[in-house]
Amino acid sequence: MQYIVFTDLDGTLVDYDTYSYQAALPAIHLLKEEGIPLVFCTSKTRAEIEVYLDELELLHPFISENGGAIFIPHGYFDVDFVVSRSTDKYDVIELGTDYNILRNVLLNIASSEGLSLVGFGDMTDAELSEDTGLDVGSACLAKQREYDEAFRLYGDENDADRLISSIGSKGLNYTLGGRYWHIIGDNDKGKAVRILTQVYRKQLGDIKTVGLGDSLNDRPMLMEVDIAFLVLKANGEHDPAITDEKVTRIPGVGPQGWNMAIMGLLE
C-alpha cells in the first residue's frame, strides 16, 4: 500500500505568519525516507511553489493556484495521461481560466457593483509584501499568477453576498483561503487531486491518498482523499466552514499540526 500525500501550504505546511515549514521537517523527512510522494496543492503560483520544492529537494508533481493547473516533471510517470501543454520542465494539465480573464471580470464587478476590491494585480511587489508578510522577492513570485486572482474585499456581509452572486452570474467561482478571496474558473483543489490521483493509480496500482489543509479552499481536496486532516488556524481554531465528519481535526496549529498528523499516520 503506497500513500500519496496532498497538502496545502499557507497556514498548513507553512506557518500563517512566518511562512516557515520548520516545525514540519521531521515528518517531511520521514515521508522522504519512506518514499512517499508529497504533492503541494495550494493557492500559490508555480514560481512560489518551486522555491519550496528546491529548498526541500522534492521532485514530485504539484498543483498550483487552487487547482488551476497540475505540473508533472517530465519522465515522472511511465503511464500516459492527457497533457494541455508542455514546458521545458513539466507536462502541464490545465484546469483553470486564464488570469487576464479573471482580472477583467473582477474589475468589471468592482465597478458595476461599487465594491472596494484590491487584487494582487493592483498591488506593487512592495505593497503585496506589506499585505502578506512575504519578503519582496517572494511577493514578486506571488504576483506571477496564471489561473487565480487573489484579492481583498473591503466591505460588509451584504457586499460579500453581492460579490458572490456577481461572480456566479459571470460563470466563474470563488473560494476563500487563509487571507484572501480568490476568483477562479471551473477548477478547485479537489478536481485537480482527483485527476492526479488517477495518474498515480494507473502507475502504482493500490494507493491511499492523504490530504491536509486549514481553510475552505481545502475542502474539495479533503473530500477527495481517503484520509483527511484539518490543522488549527493561527487563531487556535479549526475553520468553522469545514464540518465534515470524515475530516480528522488535528489539535496543532499549521506546521505543528501537520507534523503531528503525518507522524501519527506513519506510526
> Which residues are at the interface with Mg ion (CB under 5 A)?
8, 10-11, 178, 214-215
| Residue 8 known to be catalytic | yes
Report the DSSP pairing between strands 38-40 and 207-213.
Answer: unpaired
Closest approach of Mg ion to the CB of residue 134, in Å: 14
CB of 151 to Mg ion, least distance (A): 16
CA distance 50 to 142: 11
Q: Min. distance of Cβ 233 from Mg ion in angstroms?
A: 9
Q: How far apart are CA 22 and CA 166, in angstroms?
A: 40
User: Shortest CA distance to 65 belongs to which of 34, 31, 102, 17?
Assistant: 102
**Smallest distance, Mg ion to C-beta of residue 13, A:** 9
Nearer to Mg ion, 64 or 215 (CB): 215
What DSSP designation does 121 have? Answer: G
How far apart, in whole angstroms, are the C-alpha atoms of residue 93 and residue 90? 9
**H helix or E strand, kind and range, residue 72:** strand 69-73
Q: Nearer to Mg ion by C-beta: 11 or 220?
A: 11
By beta-carbon proximity to Mg ion, the closer residue of 166 and 215 is: 215
Alpha-carbon distance 136 to 127, whole Å?
Answer: 9
**If you write DSSP's letter for every residue of 12-71 in order, what string do you get?**
TTB-TTT---GGGHHHHHHHHHTT--EEEB-SS-HHHHHHHHHHHT----EEEGGGTEEE
CA–CA gap between residue 154 and residue 158 (Å, rounded): 11
Cβ at position 100, least distance to Mg ion in Å: 25
CB of 99 to Mg ion, least distance (A): 20
Which residue number is nearest to Mg ion in terms of Cβ? Answer: 11
> 216: Cβ–Cβ under 8 A, 6 or more apart, which residues?
175, 176, 177, 239, 241, 242
Residue where the block lists cell 465528519: 245
Say if residue 207 is exposed, middle or buried (CB neighbours under 10 Å; 0-12, 13-18, 19+): middle
Catalytic residues: 8
